[in-house]
C-alpha cells in the first residue's frame, strides 16, 4: 500500500477508500486509533488478526493497556456499493477529521492511515521531516 490519496468525509461520516487500497485491504478491514499520532490506522483482516494474536504471546499485565486502547477503539468495516465506509464518530473525533482527509499507504500490504488533510499537510510541511527521516533511517541502517 503506497501513496497519499485525497478523500472526502461526508456529514454522515462516510468516505471513499481508494480502489487500489480497497483491493489490497480486502472485503473486511478494521479501523482503530493509531498509537503515537492522532490519526486512524487501517488494518486488513489478516493484519488485524496477526496484531490481536501477538497480544496472546505477551504478558497480560504488559499488554492489557495497549490491547484495550486498540480493540476498544476498533471498528470492523466493509465497503458499501458506492465504495464508501462509515467511520464512527469516536474515531472521527480522535483523529480530528474534517471534510478533507488523506488515506496514506504505509508501504506494507494491509496497512494504511487516515489523516485530516490539514494535519497531514502540517506533519509534512511544518517541520523538518527530511532530517527526521534521515536520522530514523540511519538508526535503522537503511
Strand, coil or helix: 29: strand
The conformation of residue 107, written as its DSSP 8-state character, comes to: S
Q: How far apart are CA 43 and CA 50, in angstroms?
A: 10
**Residue 18: pLDDT over 90:** no
Give the domain extent around 131: 4-140
pLDDT at 114: 97
CATH code at position 122:
3.40.1550.20
Total domains present in the chain: 1
User: What tens digit of pLDDT does each residue of 38-81 get?
Assistant: 999 999 999 999 999 988 888 777 788 888 888 999 999 999 98
Q: How far apart are CA 2 and CA 20, in angstroms?
A: 9
Which residue's C-alpha cell is 482503530? 32
Would the pTM count as exceeding 0.95? no
Residue among 81, 88, 77, 79 nearest 43 (CA)? 77
Q: Which residue has the higher pLDDT, 12 or 124?
A: 12
pLDDT at 74: 95
pLDDT at 68: 87
Q: How far apart are CA 141 and CA 36, in angstroms?
A: 23
- For residue 59, CA distances in Å to 3, 67, 68 come to 36, 12, 14
Amino acid at each position: 500500500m503506497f501513496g497519499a490519496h485525497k478523500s472526502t468525509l461526508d456529514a454522515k461520516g462516510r468516505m471513499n477508500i481508494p480502489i487500489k487500497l480497497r483491493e489490497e485491504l480486502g472485503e473486511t478491514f478494521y479501523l482503530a486509533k493509531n498509537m503515537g499520532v492522532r490519526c486512524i490506522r487501517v488494518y486488513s483482516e489478516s493484519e488485524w488478526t496477526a496484531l490481536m494474536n501477538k497480544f496472546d504471546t505477551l504478558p497480560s499485565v504488559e499488554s492489557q493497556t495497549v490491547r484495550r486502547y486498540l480493540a476498544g477503539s476498533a471498528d470492523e468495516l466493509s465497503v458499501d456499493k458506492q465504495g464508501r465506509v462509515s467511520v464512527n464518530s469516536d474515531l472521527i473525533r480522535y483523529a480530528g477529521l474534517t471534510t478533507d482527509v488523506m488515506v496514506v499507504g504505509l508501504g506494507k500490504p494491509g496497512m494504511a492511515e487516515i489523516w485530516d488533510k490539514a494535519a497531514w499537510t502540517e506533519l509534512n510541511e511544518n517541520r523538518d521531516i527530511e532530517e527526521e527521516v534521515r536520522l530514523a533511517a540511519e538508526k535503522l541502517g537503511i
